[in-house]
Homo-oligomer: A and B are copies of this chain.
């Protein structure tokens, strides 16, 4: 009878019994005639030992780090003086009776847990993603996205699939990548699901999507990529942008509760602190932020249409001290800096009912109330120098009656990066794409011969 695989984390339930485990060899240590292996699977690690008399002794000879193996053995309690309290399963040991090599590891560029620079890390992602730290980062990211979705579902939102191929780069400016579509027609990659989520307000009232956005700006920074994951929602029947902010705050609170529950070890491993989130996130108008920057922090800021990255860092540090919050809402960006569909504040002409959410110095969310009146919207399109005809599909939603609505977009990689205090967005993106790289450096693919 074939023995079922036991997960390494479950071994303590099998003391003095035979088990089969499967996984990767972390390390091999030869000690006299005995061979010790640290073995890992997705659930954890355990030490195994091959004794000289073991039938597995021959097979063990050729096994090195990263070999994939299936092992049968007996789970033994360790004697008191051999217990290692600092590692998982430090009080047991697997006495190995048989080893089967499932796959050999060849040509490893460096040790799995080696600290390498970012370029080397990115060059070898299929291997470097196996580092403990990388595994933890992306498990936490999976928790973030699911907690975000879960909170929205709890708040009556329905998920939808936003299209990523779009017909025109109607808004311009955002540098959409061009796609060679059928019969040499042009299509574009979506720079955001904005128009579609607004259309979905007419269908579901509250709609969300977790999708990709593509931006072709020639940024080479620690916070930009050409493809990124965006958590987008849009909701109808709002009073103003503050309803959107309240919904987002509920999501953020749930995300933090979930990562706190499941990933405190990850925070420890990465030396990051759990985010500070007071009873309510402080809210300032852009102009108020600029006044604080000038009067309290001695920076030049007033009169600018937007915040510089350094402004965002400074106001967040200040808010952390003053409000015990790692988050700050900034509202009322000027009309000139926001897209045509953003709602102008009747009480503050020239400024919009828009907001950014800053988290530990970085903008992670942009949102606001949208225009819902057809005539006003067409007028704004024209005023931005755009052509209403190019928006005919989108505008149908407004001809059919749209409630007051708003929404926002949160960058998954950005929230992950700030959550774990990692400086570069590329460390929190499994397979980052930028100016120079799609998996491998792009200069490497210049040679046409290699592409056919």
Contacts and interface: CB of A to CB of B under 8 A. Distances in A.
A440 B429 CA distance: 34
A270 interface: no
Contacts of A149: 146
A431 B126 contact: no
Count of chain copies? 2
A121 interface: no
Interface in A302-352: none
B401 A67 contact: yes
- The number of chain A residues touching the other chain, given as a range, is 35 or more
Contact of A182 (B168, B412, B435, B439): B435
The interface centre, meaning the residue of A22, A103, A166, A445 with most chain B CB atoms within 10 A of its CB, is A103
Contacts of A401: 24, 66-68, 103-105
Given A402-B68, A430-B163, A135 B187 contact: no
A383 B78 CA distance: 51
A451 to B, nearest CB: 6
A1 interface: no
A249 B348 CA distance: 57
A414 interface: no
Given A126-B393, A180-B177, A399 B107 contact: yes
A199 B129 contact: yes
A430 B430 CA distance: 28
Nearest to A387: B450
Interface string A86-114: 00000000000000001111111000000
A106 B430 contact: no
A390 B449 CA distance: 10
Interface in A1-27: 5, 22, 24
Interface string A169-209: 10000000111111001110100000010011011111000
Given A203-B134, A393-B439, A401-B66, A237 B165 contact: no
Contacts of A106: 374, 399
A427 to B, nearest CB: 14
B185 A181 contact: no
A431 B204 contact: no
A102 B372 contact: yes
Contacts of A159: 142, 145-146
A105 B399 contact: yes
A400 B126 CA distance: 8
A292 B41 CA distance: 43
Interface in A103-138: 103-108, 124-127, 129-130, 134-135, 138
Interface of A: 5, 22, 24, 41-42, 66-68, 70, 102-108, 124-127, 129-130, 134-135, 138-139, 141-142, 145-146, 149, 153, 156, 158-169, 177-182, 185-187, 189, 196, 199-200, 202-206, 211-212, 214, 216, 218, 226-227, 229, 237, 372-374, 387, 389-390, 392-394, 396-404, 412, 429-431, 433, 435, 438-440, 442, 445-446, 450-452
Given A125-B393, A126-B199, A127-B399, 7 more contacts: A129-B203, A146-B153, A161-B429, A163-B431, A165-B226, A178-B180, A393-B439
Pick the 10 closest A-B CB pairs, nearest first: A105-B401, A42-B205, A126-B397, A167-B438, A126-B396, A142-B159, A393-B439, A66-B401, A163-B431, A127-B400
